[in-house]
Homo-oligomer: A and B are copies of this chain.
Amino acid sequence: MDAKQAVSPWKDTKDREHDRREKREAVLRVAAQAFCENGVRTTSLDEIAERLNVTKPTLYHYFRSKDEILAECVRIGLELIDKAIADATGDGRTARDRLEAALHRYAEIMTMDFGMCITRIGEAELPPQSRKAFRAHKRKIDERIRSLIEEGVADGSISARDVRLTAFTVSGALNWIARWYDPDGPLKPHEIARSCVDILFEGLAPRVSKKPAECTRT
């Protein structure tokens, strides 16, 4: 019972800050969930603290204010997406492949705690200062997506009349996943991602033929 104690009496000091980081993130994760479930302003710090089995002042050891917690939640979410898209722009033969990979990851992240925050916490909830940062971050992501679309238009692997609007439409469809995704539902995140991206690429209008070879002659 106490054997494991003997195994790791963690003598050192360097993992203290590791501990601290872990706890900090635990606070953020729980906060993110609470914010998504019940809204930002209806979620009190007492409530968050309670979920963590601590009391409110403890939170102030890790954060300066509620707004800081809030801002961190969305920042992490945006960071995840930003990184994911940046990574995806590496591999893939055509721009379409790269965009598809990027959107797939994007969609998956929208089913995760911090990803959900981006959609469910409106920028209206943010204090003016972090609102600016939020917008800037979003714009950066948007520009990445636009670039991919533009490349796709250039190499012929994507068709888009208005790049800006296309980016908005696509992001919107994926952002919205955060609003209806149910972890207990039948579909796994990667399945949802797969299907949504497919729908966006294929469109609702029937295609005459999947492969040009099958094209019926008139």
Contact across chains for A206 and B124 when beta carbons are under 8 A apart: no
Stoichiometry (number of copies): 2
Q: Does A30 contact B (CB under 8 A)?
A: no
Per the bound structure, the CA–CA distance linking A38 and B213 in Å amounts to 55
Per the bound structure, the CA–CA distance linking A80 and B180 in Å amounts to 21
For A212, the chain B residues whose CB sits under 8 A away are 208, 216, 218
- Residues of chain A whose beta carbon lies under 8 Å from any beta carbon of chain B: 35-42, 96, 99, 120-122, 124-125, 149, 152, 156-162, 165-166, 168-177, 179-180, 187, 192, 195-196, 198-209, 212-213, 215-218
**A–B complex contacts, Cβ < 8 Å, 19 sampled:** A37-B124, A39-B122, A39-B124, A96-B205, A159-B207, A160-B204, A166-B204, A169-B173, A169-B196, A169-B200, A172-B177, A173-B173, A173-B176, A200-B204, A202-B203, A208-B209, A208-B212, A215-B216, A215-B217
